Amino acid sequence: MGADTLIHVLSSRHGDWLAELSDLQALELGMLISLLVLPILFGLYAHSLLRREQLATGTVRDSEQLLNALMENVPQIICIKDAGNMRYVHINRSAENLLDCSRDQLIDSSDRDKLLMAPTARH
């Protein structure tokens, strides 16, 4: 809604006092109304963005929990490595049992580290 339309709507509802305003006064009134309304609109927009982010974050968190529960309880061995440094970042319970090492010993280690500690870990 433009300032001209807003002034017309206001003048039709509140008598002829707005019709007597000069163009400069009408422009000032429009700017004043804009200054009052824009922060409210911005606040509503920011609130909708924040709400959307909260919903997305909650969905991601729920998905991560489900994935972690599935990975931990499947009988298959799951070992996840960081592609950059080739170190283990996740090891499930089945892998711990097969490798006969705790995940604390394996997390953040590489295959080379695992081979070096293998003889001592088994004795």
The pLDDT value recorded for residue 16 is: 58
* Residue 109 burial (C-beta neighbours within 10 Å; 0-12, 13-18, 19+): middle
Strand blocks (E) in 4-120: 79-81, 88-91
Residue 123 — pLDDT band, cuts 50, 70, 90? very low
Mean of pLDDT values over 1-7:
52
pTM of the predicted protein model: 0.44
Q: How many CA atoms, within 13 angstroms, populate the side-chain half-sphere of residue 46?
A: 6
Count of C-beta atoms within a 10 Å radius of residue 8: 14
pLDDT tops 80 at residue 112: no
Residue 79 has φ and ψ, to the nearest 5°, of -125, 125
Residue 44's identity, in one-letter code, is: L
Q: What is the pLDDT of residues 55-91, one digit of tens each?
A: 878 887 888 888 888 888 888 888 888 888 888 888 8
d(CA 71, CA 77): 9
pLDDT tops 50 at residue 122: no
